[in-house]
Amino acid sequence: MIRMEFEEDPGITMTRIAKGFKEDASQATARLAVATGKQCAIRSQPWGLGREAKNTINNNIIDAGKRICYVVKSARYLMKLRGQAERARIKYKMWEEVRPNQVMTDADKINRHIDKIRAGHANPPRFIPWADMIVCSKTTFDKAMRLRRKRTGMNKGGWLGAGIRAAGLQAGPDRAKIGKNVGAWAQKHRRKGTARWTGSGREMELINYTSGADGLLPNRNLVAACVDAWENTFEWYKKAIKRRERETR
């Protein structure tokens, strides 16, 4: 959940420029919330939002998974590794022993382990010590990666949904919008997010109901998203005021 609060309705600079467009602080706050929802979706890990970004995200998810998972193509061979306990060996840089707790057949457990190794970073380290590696079948690995891709879409869709809801809280003409084609692959999960007023129109909350949403948007990314949203909203007001002045001449 993001709470946006502005002591000066919402900031002296934004208030002044909003008045120049004949809008009050509440409308400026709502515009800023729409922009923030979009920027949070972009900066949530993995980074990106557009159609090309989707392909890059999918590739990054698989690449990160393969750094931590030693994938065995044959399920029969995997069962053999489990049965041999400490005597089983796999070549990973060098021949390594396979401990029973390294062999995983549950996709959810694999994803929890990947998140643990990532430790809040966008990607895990390039080299993972063998003791932190997972051994799994290709079928289980593929299922885990599908779940990760879905979670990414749900998380980004949640932030977009929060921005879309914030757009609905605006009043008057020239309302800010997310756009139907912005992250269309993630917008199908837009019901995972919402926005609401708290207080007297000077504070708005953006809420993402996706599990683990906070972990996928580190504080440094959140700060950058809010800064970008502020700058984009301010620039929009500047251009809109100039456009209106030309139209009224």
User: Is 166 within 8 Å of 206 (Cβ atoms)?
Assistant: yes
What are the C-alpha distances in Å from 81 to residues 66, 72, 85, 112, 238?
Answer: 19, 10, 7, 22, 65
Q: What was the pLDDT predicted at 66?
A: 93
pTM of the model: 0.82
Percent of the chain with pLDDT over 70: 91
Looking at the predicted structure, is the pLDDT value of residue 134 above 60?
yes
Q: Could you read off the pLDDT of 20-72 as tens digits, one per residue? A: 898 988 899 899 999 999 999 999 988 888 777 888 889 999 999 999 999 98
Per the prediction, the chain carries an average pLDDT of: 86
Cα(30)–Cα(206) distance, integer angstroms: 11
Q: pLDDT-derived band of residue 207, with 50, 70 and 90 as boundaries?
A: very high
More confident residue, 228 or 46: 228
- Between residues 4 and 28, the one the model is more confident about: 28
